[in-house]
């Protein structure tokens, strides 16, 4: 092994350890936020924000998406679009139940 390969490996390990520590800290932040007794909408937004950050770290570094090609980003973008679409479905159903215009049995 040449010296440059060893240095590259050490650099990669340092990045993985940094991401691991970041995920552990964000997990502690998530648990700490649960004790703040925030109103439910604010708690959900904050929890989703922390989850998005943690998911992004996992996807970028452990799934190696940070160094992938454009097609992978396109597939990821489509997935995120449909994910948020599915998250909005209960909101639209709740809105319909309040107005009483649409009933699904």
Domain boundaries, the chain: 1-67, 68-105
Mean pLDDT by 10 residues, the chain (105 residues): 78 93 96 91 91 92 80 85 87 64 55
Helices and strands counted in the chain (H then E)? 3, 0
* pTM recorded for the entire structure: 0.64
Residues in the chain: 105
| pLDDT at residue number 67 | 77
């Amino acid at each position: 092994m040449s010296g440059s390969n060893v240095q590259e490996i050490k650099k990669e390990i340092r990045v993985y350890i940094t991401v691991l520590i970041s995920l552990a800290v964000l997990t502690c932040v998530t648990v700490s936020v649960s004790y703040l007794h925030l109103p439910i909408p604010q708690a959900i937004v904050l929890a989703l924000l922390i989850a998005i950050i943690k998911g992004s770290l996992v996807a970028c570094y452990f799934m190696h998406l940070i160094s992938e090609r454009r097609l992978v980003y396109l597939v990821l973008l489509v997935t995120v679009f449909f994910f948020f679409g599915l998250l909005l479905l209960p909101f639209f159903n709740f809105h319909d139940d309040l107005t009483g215009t649409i009933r699904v049995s």
